[in-house]
Structure 1
Amino acid sequence: MKMETLDHGRVIPYNNGYWLYEFDIARSQEQAKNISALLSTSLRSVVNLIPERTKLNELKNQTANLMNYANYTLTLLSEKNLIMNNEIGNWSNFLEQAINFLQKDKEIIVAPDFNPTRVNIIRGCKAASLYHYNENTPQKLILLGATGNVTAPDTFDLTNSNVYVVDAFNQQEKIIFYREEKQTLYITEPIGECVLCLHFPLVERWNNDQVKAHIDLIEYAIIKEEDEYFYEYLKLLIGGKL
């Protein structure tokens, strides 16, 4: 706050281009009481907002998330239209955009409600691949596209067992698979005639038994509540529902 002294001994505080009040040095004790009353009134006008701060922050976060969701859906829809119209788009480009919402690290938390303890961290999705079943090539899954640090085979034989992409399609259920040598989680999910595979590295090295013991927490950590809308929209586009 800038202070400017006038010739007759009064000081007028000046802030952001506005004169706030006059302060007469000769009546400083009385003026101090007036200023105190003004400040008290100002504080009372905002004190009711303090309990609402959490709600206001939540609304702010929800607004930001909705904006991100809007941008995400429009981007993916544009990529899907390019594919459907046989233009320059392809499924690899689609997947590159699709996994953007999964780039944040996620913590695996045990006993989150009464004694939360972080036991590991899941890195953001580093790669994805998409396979498709076509009646013209029976007993095989054909690679549609891939993105990130991945070496994806062109085909998978549906008669092969213990292959997580094949098992997910044959069993028609989501499978979470872990490879200790790569310290990476693989989430494979059948979506219509397709199978989507997502790759997530772990920070701390775990064995298969540790992963199995925390499998529900792992799934919850990767697709949290705020991410479900993104993931469901992605599945709708892959499955041909949109």
Structure 2
Amino acid sequence: MNIDVTKIFISSSSQQTLQSLRERIKSALENTGHETVMYEYGDMGLYTNDPNQDCLDRVKDSDVLVLFISNRAGSLSRSNPNITITYAEFITALMNDKIVIPVVETQILTFYKEHIKDELDRAINKFEEEHDHEPRYTYPIVKALLDKHKSKNTVFHNKIKGMSVDDFIWAFVHDCYKMTRWTYNYNIADTPDLCNFLLKVLSQVLRKSTKFYLHEKEITQNLMLYDELSVYQDSVSNFMKCIKNSTLNLPLFFKTLTLYLPSQSIYDPYSDFAEHPKPIVNISECKAITLYKRNNDVLTLVDSYGCNTPTLEFEKEDKHSFVAQTYNKDMKHQEHIFYSEDKQMIYLTKKVGELVLSCHFQLSEVWSSRRVNSYENDIVSAIMEKRQPFDFAIDLLGGMLNE
């Protein structure tokens, strides 16, 4: 008979002072019938060359993440210097609706509440006011605060350093305190009592039956590459149909291009850790396209698609024109975005020799220009998801319309 037991992932930095605790906790949990997953015991079942990703996969496959935070942060992620590997496990658990039980060293959590929390909250609020969105990561805000104290408040700076706590820990504790329903503090050195305390907490949390399901991603890298190649071959065929008698049929070309600029979404920085991420904002499919060409000191409309009243021309030096700004920038190998708050419209522009192409997209929410600018790279990446068809279209456009 198969018994459905609770699978618990034990997470912490790999510092030596926590090793005995991890072993005692593992033994205590298993003696009460739970299944534990811990890196150093080979519980991970590592089958790939990416142990960090293997850890995150095991977090997704667990029911509960028990997290211990002491004074050492551990290794920063190679792919993201704003988080540690342990923090990635924490976020992965949250993003996949796992039960997260953080236990922070008592003196660290007490110091955070008394000396850091309020000032860090104010710094985060200031960031939100200046950038019109929450900071993606807490660690850079903490580093800026500590650097400020180092030069302006040496007494407090020395007090923080006297705690012998890695800077990242303050960011980690802050996010635990904000993101979880509970954050416990305990004298981590008192292992036997902590084991008993943790078992009581688990008993309370698991009193109501909770079941989690891991939704496996079954699409392999080879299939993804095959799909990309199929899309590219299909796009080449469709764009070539726009050429009639050695002339590019622009209305048909624009209509075809919109097929490869579908609606997209922008996600928060933790979306990679979630099975079902929620978008910050949605971007519509390409609503309209305009094409301009330089004629002396004027950029003249060549043709348009989806625009009822496109502007017929812009002065080349018009500093208020997205088209003129694009033409005057050195943008041969990149796209740029502009935003109209009034129209709630994103304009992705591309210079192609003497031509300027502008593709128009609607945002699902009213954003400020400042906020759009802060997400510029994310927006361009989302729109340019089908990169190869777009690049082929640009090459075809430039080759046939530039003299």
Corresponding residue for 2:161?
none
Q: Does 1:74 align with 2:203?
A: no
SS of aligned partner of 1:102: coil
TM-aligned CA deviation for residue 222 of structure 1: 1.2
TM-aligned CA deviation for residue 157 of structure 1: 1.4
Q: Going by fraction, where is strand more abundant, 1 or 2?
A: 1
Q: Does 1:213 align with 2:374?
A: yes
Corresponding residue for 1:111?
269
Question: Which ranges of structure 1 fall in alignment gaps of 5 or more residues?
Answer: 1-52
TM-aligned CA deviation for residue 165 of structure 1: 0.4
Deviations 1:112-161 (A, max 9, x none): 4457652111111111111112xxx3111122211114532222211211
SS of aligned partner of 2:346: strand
Q: Is the 8 A contact 2:266 2:280 kept in 1?
A: yes
Q: Does 1:146 align with 2:309?
A: no
Q: Does 1:228 align with 2:387?
A: yes
Percent of aligned pairs with the same amino acid: 26
TM-aligned CA deviation for residue 57 of structure 1: 5.3
Corresponding residue for 2:324?
166
Q: Is the 8 A contact 1:188 1:195 kept in 2?
A: yes
1:70 alignment partner AA: Q
Q: Is the 8 A contact 2:258 2:285 kept in 1?
A: no
SS of aligned partner of 1:162: coil
Corresponding residue for 2:119?
none
SS of aligned partner of 2:399: coil
Q: Does 1:101 align with 2:264?
A: no
SS of aligned partner of 2:296: coil
Corresponding residue for 1:8?
none
| Aligned positions of 1:1-242 closer than 5 A | 58-79=221-242, 81-82=243-244, 85-86=246-247, 90-103=249-262, 105-112=263-270, 113=272, 118-133=279-294, 137-173=295-331, 174-224=335-385, 227-240=386-399
Of residues 111-120 and 196-205 in structure 1, the stretch that sits farther from structure 2 once superposed is 111-120
TM-aligned CA deviation for residue 69 of structure 1: 2.3
Whole-angstrom distance in 2 between the partners of 1:140 and 1:130: 13
SS of aligned partner of 1:240: helix
SS of aligned partner of 1:176: strand
TM-score (norm 2): 0.41
TM-aligned CA deviation for residue 76 of structure 1: 0.9
Whole-angstrom distance in 2 between the partners of 1:55 and 1:239: 39
SS of aligned partner of 1:200: strand
Residue 228 and residue 167 in structure 1: after superposition, are their counterparts in 2 closer, same or farther (change >3 A)? same
Query: Which has more radius of gyration?
Result: 1
Whole-angstrom distance in 1 between the partners of 2:285 and 2:220: 25
Residue 114 and residue 71 in structure 1: after superposition, are their counterparts in 2 closer, same or farther (change >3 A)? closer
TM-aligned CA deviation for residue 110 of structure 1: 2.1
TM-aligned CA deviation for residue 201 of structure 1: 0.3
Q: Is the 8 A contact 2:315 2:324 kept in 1?
A: yes
TM-aligned CA deviation for residue 95 of structure 1: 0.9
Whole-angstrom distance in 1 between the partners of 2:267 and 2:372: 13
1:238 alignment partner AA: L
Whole-angstrom distance in 1 between the partners of 2:328 and 2:308: 23
Whole-angstrom distance in 2 between the partners of 1:150 and 1:59: 43
TM-aligned CA deviation for residue 199 of structure 1: 0.4
Residue 66 and residue 213 in structure 1: after superposition, are their counterparts in 2 closer, same or farther (change >3 A)? same
Q: Is the 8 A contact 2:336 2:380 kept in 1?
A: no
Whole-angstrom distance in 2 between the partners of 1:65 and 1:92: 26
Residue 62 and residue 207 in structure 1: after superposition, are their counterparts in 2 closer, same or farther (change >3 A)? same
Residue 205 and residue 70 in structure 1: after superposition, are their counterparts in 2 closer, same or farther (change >3 A)? same
